[in-house]
Amino acid sequence: MSETKPGEQVVTEVRKRYGAIAVQGTSCCGPQPACCGTTEMSRHLGYGERELATVPQEADLGLGCGAPVGRLGLKAGETVLDLGSGPGLDALLAAREVGPTGHVIGVDMTPEMLERARATAARAGAAHVEFRQGRLEALPVDDASVDAVTSNCVINLVPDKAAVFREIARVLRPGGRVVVADIVLEKPLPEAVAKDVLAWCGCVSGAAPRADYFRLVERAGLREVEVLKEEDYAASVAQIASDQAQSLLERWGVTREALEGTVMSVTWRAVKA
């Protein structure tokens, strides 16, 4: 079994695996064609049929753990930043809301994802969307330059989460808001899961304990933190892709019950004072 490594080695592995997803359409859980990477998962997580019908199919790889854009309350002319924009689904949905007078910036560290997103945006005719290569810990975005920030199941993949939250606060204008869907832990993971790099890339073992996570959010200067929705993430994946979930449980040597109530997807909101 491959064990997780600290810092840059984790980042390298995440970039490698998500690059493969962008090119091959495989899932974040490994080479199988389903698990967390299915359009059915996107529907389950809260995306409406009409929303999904308005963007090219290539933008939806089913990689999220929520549907945060619809909760941002976007207005025409606003500037929106999507952290870990992947194939561009949330960026394109945000572009519909802010209209041609608005501006949407997607940031992703994976060249293959950026290539896919740019091609998809061009196909959609979304000239007011751009995708920049960068790390969430050091965003290629000016200070106090965006009205709203969103991210979908990506911050858990970053080893230095405190840096990400500081960057969100830095780029938001005063009064700007953030709505993020992410993964937090309610209790420690079984050791075999916690040490598996595949579990990190699958949005599980890189997650922080809930209390630690939101403590970092507030320390960054984000206020009025509110959890809008939460769900048992492991149970959701098992429901949508039971065969793949069972394969992972066998890999880790744990039962489904061992993960129940442990790995939670949360959609939360906060504002910059």
Tens-place pLDDT, residues 193-210 = 998 888 898 889 999 999
Q: What is the pLDDT of residue 62?
A: 84
Q: In sequence order, which ranges of the chain are alpha helices (DSSP H)?
A: 8-24, 39-45, 49-53, 89-98, 111-124, 161-171, 191-194, 197-201, 210-219, 233-240, 242-252, 256-259
55-93 in b/e burial notation, b at 16+ Cβ within 10 A?
Answer: bbebbbbbbbbbbbbbbbebeeebbbbbbbbbbbbbbbb
Rounded Cα distance, 220 and 258, in Å: 33
Q: What is the pLDDT of residue 25?
A: 64
Domain ranges in the chain are 8-272
Whole-angstrom CA distances from 153 to 85, 102, 183, 202, 247 are: 10, 24, 6, 10, 22
pLDDT over 50 at 105, yes or no: yes
CA atoms within 13 A on the CB side of 188: 4
37-48 in b/e burial notation, b at 16+ Cβ within 10 A?
Answer: bbeebbbbbbbe
Strands 263-272 and 222-232: antiparallel
Signed CA dihedral, 261, 263, 268, 273: sign only: positive
Span 8-272: which CATH code? 3.40.50.150
The one-letter amino acid code at 213 reads: Y
Rounded Cα distance, 143 and 173, in Å: 8
Number of H helices, E strands in the chain: 12, 8
192 vs 118, residue with greater confidence: 118
The region of weakest confidence among 61-70, 79-88, 139-148, 228-237 is 228-237
pLDDT single digits (tens) 108-151: 999 999 999 999 999 999 999 999 999 999 999 999 999 999 99
Contact (Cβ atoms closer than 8 angstroms) between residue 81 and residue 150: yes
